[in-house]
Structure 1
Amino acid sequence: MASNSIVLITGANAGLGFEIVKALLKSTKPYTILLGGRSLEKAKAATQQAQTECPSSNSVIKPVQIDIESDSSITNLFDQISAEYGRVDVLINNAGAQFDMGAGSSLREMREMFNRSWDVNTTSTHLLTHTLAPLLIKSSDPRLLFMTSGTANLTGHSNPALPINHSPAKGWPKEGISLTAYRSVKVGLNMVMLEWKRLLSEDGVKVWSVSPGLLATNLGGAGPEVLKKMGARDPALGGNFVRTVVEGERDADVGKVVGWMMGPIQPW
């Protein structure tokens, strides 16, 4: 059985997930990183790229296939990890998507977009966590992270510092960006985090929501350059922040939404 901490990262072949992989590879602590991707081929390619960029790492990477929308993929991953490692020390629920932008305006299209937003970001994340929980509680230092958003903030919804909170001009239809589905599902995910903190408290599992801030990734399909114009930062900064949570720097903030761009604790 591996002595390294076993870290599973979903959605890790690109974007923030890939930056988390590289941040852990650059750590002085050794990890066995399970780099999860919807496609095993993409996970393998990302593994090779990460190894090329971090050739002197003390950690090892193994690509794994995980499509959190697929029940069979979830159970297959459970069986694989059970057989090879017998436990998970850190589960980073990074896989997610934003479907608001580019969605159609018909009722059918809007309903489909809303439903898939919930299914991918909240329901599927919960089901994966439910399936892997027996492996997580076998760890001597189990950690469970959920990736949330700075826009999923009920108390800060009127904060004018976030352009997404600005009210559009009167009239119909409304112009501008609306992330109603994405914001709603991430608020829901924060409640999922609190429930898992409650459920696994006596098992010693440390649980957080992590708000990595606006990062220049392909989330939502707008592209990194468009997001940079909106103030998005280097995704590597988000990866490094997640590493600090994994390595114990936010252990005093278990059960909270921890961040670094909107303050150390994000109210929601």
Structure 2
Amino acid sequence: MAAKRIVFITGANTGLGYEAVKALYNSPNAYEILLGSRSVDKGETAISTLKKETAQSASSLSTVQVDIESDDSITKAFDAIAAKHGKLDVLINNAGANFERDIQDGKFSLREGWMKSWNVNVAGTNVLTSTFVPLLLKSQDPYLLFITSGTSSMGEAQRFDADIFRRLNQSPAAGWPKAKEPNPTMSYRSTKAGLNMMMTQWERVLKEDGVKVWAISPGFLATGLAGIGAEKLKQIGAQDPAIGGQFIRDVVEGKREADRGKAIRSDMIQPW
């Protein structure tokens, strides 16, 4: 019997991360799924919910406490996984955040909000990846995934030929200050574009080590990421997050091998 592949997913107790856990847990393939969560209690609640929804699975689930804004937390997560498993086959950098509404509402200053966005979506992700590389290199077939966004494409930043592009790329009326946007994305899109470049650099750095690297662009999903609410997002075309979870599983199970080093959508390579 083949050993279970060990998969660590950050930000996995909710949203797209949870759907990725669920998709892998429902796979006929066997995984040791390490559900990364800032809160152990929330991680355990997610596992309990998933087990109630799934009659049986070839896979195992456990929670790993990790906050990617904390180097100490990242180091402790590494130590725990190294001590228990000794290697990592798949690292899915899913943890991310959108602080646009917090900036609009005055919770953060413009500088605070932008710095926090870069810290979570890029710097923290980079620190965690760098920390876990030694465990990936102990795998016979290591995978490294970064969750990007369809809004990160600079090649599509001036498209207006579909409703989604018109919503994202339309210019506000003249004058200053500008009115609050219903779905502000400036800092979020910028950080995810930065994440894409970071992915290409990890692909370059780890190419000769045999690590397979992708940026996963899961599509417009009805998650809680932007603070808008799932139902309102569905009204403007957002899809079930389970679709994104299945896409991640497809990549983990080898269905996009030819597209390594790219930002990929379920049906295409995303333009840079």
Shared fold per TM-score greater than 0.5: yes
What is the alpha-carbon distance in structure 2 between the residues aligned to residue 145 and residue 120 of structure 1?
16
Aligned to 1:56: 56
CA RMSD after TM alignment: 1.5
Structure 2 residues without counterparts, runs of 5 or longer: none
- AA aligned to 2:253 is E
SS in structure 2 at match of 1:219: coil
Q: Give how far 1:28 is off.
A: 1.0
What is the alpha-carbon distance in structure 2 between the residues aligned to residue 55 and residue 113 of structure 1?
42
What is the alpha-carbon distance in structure 1 between the residues aligned to residue 184 and residue 41 of structure 2?
34
Contact 1:68/1:120 (<8 A) preserved: yes
Contact 1:33/1:61 (<8 A) preserved: yes
Q: Please point out which of 162, 187, 190 is paired with 1:184.
A: 190
Task: Among all aligned residue pairs of Structure 1 and Structure 2, give the percentage whose two residues are the same amino acid.
Answer: 53
- AA aligned to 1:165 is N
What is the alpha-carbon distance in structure 2 between the residues aligned to residue 210 and residue 188 of structure 1?
14
- AA aligned to 1:18 is Y
User: TM-score normalized by structure 1?
Assistant: 0.96
Q: Give how far 1:220 is off.
A: 1.7
What is the alpha-carbon distance in structure 1 between the residues aligned to residue 210 and residue 54 of structure 2?
32
Aligned to 2:230: 224
SS in structure 2 at match of 1:151: helix
Aligned to 2:214: 208
What is the alpha-carbon distance in structure 1 between the residues aligned to residue 57 and residue 242 of structure 2?
17
What is the alpha-carbon distance in structure 2 between the residues aligned to residue 230 and residue 103 of structure 1?
23
- AA aligned to 1:96 is G
1:145 correspondence with 2:116: no
More moved, 134-143 vs 96-105: 96-105
Instruction: Give the 3 Å change call, closer, same or farther, for CA 102–229 of structure 1 in structure 2.
Output: farther
SS in structure 1 at match of 2:153: coil
Q: Give how far 1:257 is off.
A: 0.5
1:150-203 superposed Cα distances (whole Å, 9 cap, x missing partner): 000111101112211112222222232331100000000001101110111111
Q: Give how far 1:104 is off.
A: 3.9
Aligned to 2:255: 249
- AA aligned to 1:172 is W
What is the alpha-carbon distance in structure 2 between the residues aligned to residue 226 and residue 216 of structure 1?
8
Aligned to 1:264: 268
Q: Give how far 1:105 is off.
A: 7.2
Q: Please point out which of 196, 199, 213 is paired with 2:202.
A: 196
Structure 1 residues without counterparts, runs of 5 or longer: none
Q: Give how far 1:93 is off.
A: 0.2
What is the alpha-carbon distance in structure 2 between the residues aligned to residue 104 and residue 254 of structure 1?
37
Aligned to 2:69: 69
Contact 1:9/1:17 (<8 A) preserved: yes
Contact 2:102/2:113 (<8 A) preserved: no
1:130 correspondence with 2:130: yes
Contact 1:103/1:113 (<8 A) preserved: yes
Contact 1:93/1:125 (<8 A) preserved: yes
Q: Give how far 1:55 is off.
A: 2.4
Residue-pair matches, total:
265
